[in-house]
Chain A
Amino acid sequence: MKKYAINKVLGTAAVLAVAAYTLQGCKPDIEAGTPSAGAADFSNFIAVGNSLTAGFADNGLNYEGQATSYPLILAQAMQATGKGPAQFLQPLFPVGSAGTGGLRLAGITNGLPVLAPVFPDSSQIIERIRTLFPDSITNKYAQVPNGMEIHNLGVPGIRVADIESPVYGVSNNIAFNPFFERMLPDNQGFMSYLSYVAKRRPTFFTNWLGNNDVLGYASAGGTGFLTNMADFTASYGKMLDTLTRGGAKGLIATVPKVTSAPYFTTVPPTPIVLTDPTQVALLNGAYAARNAAIKRFNTLLPDAAKLDTISFRLGPNAPVIAVSVTGPDSVYRRFGGPAGAFRQLRADRGELILLPAQTVLPTGAGTATPLGNQFALTREELDAINARTNEINTYIRAQATSRNLALFDAEAFLDQVKAGQVYFDGTNITAAFVRGGAFSLDGIHPTPRGYALIANEMMKAINAKYGSNLSPVNAANYPALQFPK
């Protein structure tokens, strides 16, 4: 009897346990999350911005870049909630067209990338564009079909300082923005970007303007102008007033530090490597008289104001650079000669040589003749750029708070990228030129991978602000560079 009871109890328990266990199945039952819109209304989404918003990469805008733009990635994530925009139209170049050209990766030689223009002959660029888009006077690109309401309003090159200019999109022989021009209907007449945006009634927007207000100056080596802060805040504020007019929610973004892009950090400050003592002596000889004159002049100056002499030695050297004849370096005009004001770049002060200098340094620029002003940023120029970037970002962050908008802090995020702290599906994304994966061949604009990562970060900010669940994209669907087959 006792034996029977024990056996029966054990047997029943085992059968019950196994039955319960098998009922839950032999397959994993974890489920994917469900996208949702939360408190946001994504039904009419527009993206305002510059080249970053347009999908510009590799120094050009083409179909492939547009098809991997962050606004499109966001729109698709919004559509996955079932409450997204019915359509998200972009001012697409024809499928498969190289658009405005740009750069391609031709190969790797001795471990270094070899870049080549998509259109090898520069006159060919104009020709190709004319041929591809045969509708124009000069440099005009294929028009967006008349009356088509597009949703990606990114205009490469646009500054906040430009958004109220009524002639910005009117083709003429002096200056206009062909990317804006092509968005406008035929015979539009005068229309500012701000007015163009004001025609829309979005329920949700992203606004990432402001980069070019510092970048234009910085990428030209400190030539041209930084947008002044009063103009910036006035125009930026009007844009936000316009976008939020109908109660739209949205996201705004800060401006990355220029030094987070490889355009500013790839060429070392001492790129001139001398191996021949004769050449060193020749160069120093050529500057000997000037150095002597500077030394005499320096005896009249307090220590803090003393001017630099030029010297070369065996090994890596900083280049001689042309400097602005209006800033604090203008004193070098006294020792200028035909090339104007010049001095040797100060690596110890963090002065930078820009990416395009890579093409002229091998021809001897920076030794007997100065490297052009547009190829370098001096300490004074960098200080001005950094100060303006800070002011702009402080303003944008304050706007996000006061207007209760989501914020993508691009400055903080790209600092992390530069520090090598950003990972994407098991891959490490860094700011290293070509190898890093974040930046395209122009050293300023992201790769599709970089744009996807930015879109994912924006989704995080939107989800946090509006309680939505926009679901990020996978790294592998958005490649970094395109390597030769």
Chain B
Amino acid sequence: MKRRLTLSLLALGAAGQAFAGGYQVSVQGQKQIGMGHTGTALAWDASSLFFNPGSLGFLKKSSVVAGASFINSTVAYTGPNGQAYRAETDNPISTPFAAYGAFFLDKNKKLVLAAGAYTPFGSTVKWADGWRGQFLLNELSLRAIFTNATVAYRINDMFSVGAGFNYAFGSVDLKRSVDINTGTATAPQYGQAQLKGNASGIGFNAGIHAQLTEELSVGVSYRSKVDMKVSGGDATIRTSPALLGTTFPASGATTFDATLPLPANTNLGIGYKVNKDLTLAADITLAHWSAYKELRFDFKENFGTGLSSASPRNYKDAFIYRVGANYQASKLIALRGGAYLDQTPVEAGYMTPETPDANRIGLTLGIGITPTENLSIDASLLFINGAKREQTQADINAAGTQTSVLPGTYQQRAFAPGIQVSYAF
């Protein structure tokens, strides 16, 4: 009976059209990464703050956790119709991190106060110099750090609930070439526009964890959308002086406002202890990407396209399906494996050079070492294989995105090793 429930949940996952992509980053806890980034129904440690604040009430001890991943991602582009053109990103390694602490406030271990800082969104894309899409994008760095304070309460042996408040802060830095030549016909020189600013926003999270039997647990959690607002960011331009004072600000610099939505996530998870050593988990996440309608910048002075520039994104909501297993091989060592299908929120014709997104498969491995009862060192390895995705001129014409995307094929692959230390007390 219990097994049938697990299997039907997996079947449900497979039936849905695969996966959340965009600029969401699934590396928020090393134990969970090792298990395909599942964890909505498992109470491992303080990292449940991210996965399901409701699970915190089922922790056995107070704990602190700190870790980071090192994402090495490459995107390649090839021209449409068999063109002999290929370009690749030269992204720096990005290092999303996560740190959590969860502390029981009462001796019955029912009430938990937790705090954390983590990086569920982010993107770093740096295309090769002089690449074909340079008038759209040379380089983008998007960072968001979420800080969170959560309270959880275990109502009884079956239910625990939790809720928290998010304050997110971060930065955006975007560079693109400006299509104004100040060189010659044979040795063109193009200037560059840069938009750089700090952003912040607020949100909340909440969750319920149900321990239905000793073996079976179910969790539901929700993290709200956070609108990251940039106010008074720096817009600077390097171009022909002939255009300063008209098309661009006389001083070459002005300020801009923008809002980037970091979408809400709804998670449903199930955990099942097959035997003393083997735990299985499966999660479904709905990423509410439809909040991302357009990327719009409002400028204080004319900046190329007048006082604003907007390009449509029209993301759609997307699912992520995850499965994972944890096998306690010995008292010292736990081995983990998992996989996820990450559905792209980006529709045909909207694949931009900053997020040339496609459905992705993530495959994970993990190892946990517990040298003492309270100390755990966990490491994971995540492989991401983005599908080859072609965008035709017909897709672009249908979407009306001719000045924000290129026709052609993109493919992304990444691997991310990660490590964390956690301590329970």
Contact = CB atoms under 8 A, between A and B. Distances in A.
B243 A423 contact: no
B78 A427 contact: no
Interface string B406-423: 100111111100000000
B240 A483 contact: yes
A3 B275 contact: yes
A220 interface: no
B78 A31 contact: yes
Contacts of B410: 30
A14 B186 CA distance: 55
B415 to A, nearest CB: 4
Interface in A431-485: 437, 448, 469, 471-472, 474-485
Contacts of A64: 184-186
B190 interface: yes
Contacts of B181: 479-483
A7 B132 contact: no
A65 B185 contact: yes
B189 to A, nearest CB: 8
Nearest to B363: A21
B135 A476 contact: yes
Contacts of A34: 82, 84
A18 interface: yes
A483 B243 contact: yes
Nearest to A107: B242
A32 interface: yes
Contact of A21 (B130, B179, B385, B414): B385
A426 B84 contact: no
B327 A11 contact: yes
A7 B275 CA distance: 10
A33 B82 contact: yes
Given A10-B278, A33-B78, A479 B185 contact: yes
Nearest to B184: A64
A86 interface: no
Interface string B188-217: 101000000000000000000000000000
Contacts of B179: 427, 437, 475-476, 480
A28 B74 contact: yes
A30 B410 CA distance: 8
Contacts, number: 169
Contacts of A472: 79, 83, 85
Contact of B403 (A15, A17, A35, A427): A427
A32 B77 CA distance: 9
A477 B134 CA distance: 11
Interface string A2-24: 01001100110011011001101
Nearest to B275: A3
A90 to B, nearest CB: 13
B400 to A, nearest CB: 11
Contacts of A80: 84
A108 interface: yes
Given A426-B133, A483-B182, A108 B83 contact: no
Nearest to B76: A28
Contacts of B404: 426
A26 interface: yes
Interface in B376-395: 383, 385-386, 388
A26 B76 contact: no
Contacts of A29: 411, 413
Given A18-B337, A18-B365, A28-B413, A7 B277 contact: yes
Contacts of A483: 180-182, 239-240, 242-243
Contact of A10 (B180, B246, B325): B325
A28 B412 contact: yes
Interface string B102-133: 00000000000000000000000000001011
Nearest to B385: A21
Interface residues of B, number: 64
A22 B278 contact: no
A479 B75 CA distance: 27
Given A426-B136, A476-B135, A480-B179, A471 B83 contact: yes
B402 interface: yes
A484 B183 CA distance: 9
A327 interface: no
A325 B31 CA distance: 92
B135 A427 contact: yes
Nearest to A425: B132
Nearest to B133: A426
A111 interface: yes
Contact of A32 (B79, B136, B182, B239): B79
Contact of A3 (B83, B188, B278, B409): B278
A296 interface: no
Nearest to A34: B84
Contacts of A11: 327, 335, 337
Contact of B411 (A6, A30, A471, A477): A30
Contacts of A437: 179
A39 to B, nearest CB: 16
A269 B379 CA distance: 74
B230 interface: no
Contact of A474 (B85, B184, B278, B409): B85
Contact of B135 (A3, A35, A426): A426
Nearest to B74: A27
Interface in A87-122: 105, 107-108, 110-111
Contact of A25 (B185, B243, B413): B413
A428 interface: yes
A67 interface: yes
A147 to B, nearest CB: 27
A111 B82 contact: no
B371 interface: no
A14 B365 contact: yes
Contacts of B81: 33
Given A26-B413, A111-B246, A428-B402, A476 B130 contact: yes
Contacts of A33: 78-79, 81-85
Interface of A: 3, 6-7, 10-11, 14-15, 17-18, 21-22, 24-35, 64-65, 67-68, 80, 105, 107-108, 110-111, 423, 425-428, 437, 448, 469, 471-472, 474-485
Interface of B: 72, 74-76, 78-79, 81-86, 88, 130, 132-136, 177, 179-186, 188, 190, 239-243, 246, 274-278, 325, 327, 335, 337, 339, 363, 365, 383, 385-386, 388, 402-406, 409-415
Given A64-B184, A427-B135, A484-B182, 17 more contacts: A7-B277, A14-B365, A17-B363, A18-B337, A18-B383, A27-B413, A28-B386, A28-B413, A29-B411, A30-B410, A33-B81, A68-B185, A68-B186, A423-B403, A472-B83, A474-B85, A485-B241
Pairs A-B, 3 closest by C-beta atoms: A33-B82, A479-B181, A14-B337
11 contacts: A10-B325, A17-B339, A18-B337, A26-B74, A27-B413, A33-B78, A33-B82, A35-B84, A426-B135, A482-B183, A485-B241
